[in-house]
Structure 1
Amino acid sequence: MSDHWVEDLVEQSVRLLDSRYPADDLQVRCWIGALYRVQAQHDCSFTHLRVMDILLRRGFAVRFPPVEHPDCREVPLIDVLQAIEAAGEASGDRTLIADWRELEPDLCDLYGLGV
Structure 2
Amino acid sequence: MFHSQLPAVDVSDVPADGIVLDVRENDEWAAGHAEGAVHIPMGEVVARIAEVPDGGRVHVVCRVGGRSAQVTQYLVAQGVDAVNVNGGMLDWEAAGRPVVADGGEGYVL
The answer to whether the superposition gives a TM-score over 0.5 is no
| Higher relative contact order (Cα pairs below 8 Å, separated by 6+ residues) | 2
Structure having the higher Rg: 1
Report the structure, 1 or 2, having the larger strand content: 2
Report the structure, 1 or 2, having the larger helix content: 1
Q: Shorter chain as normaliser: what TM range?
A: under 0.3
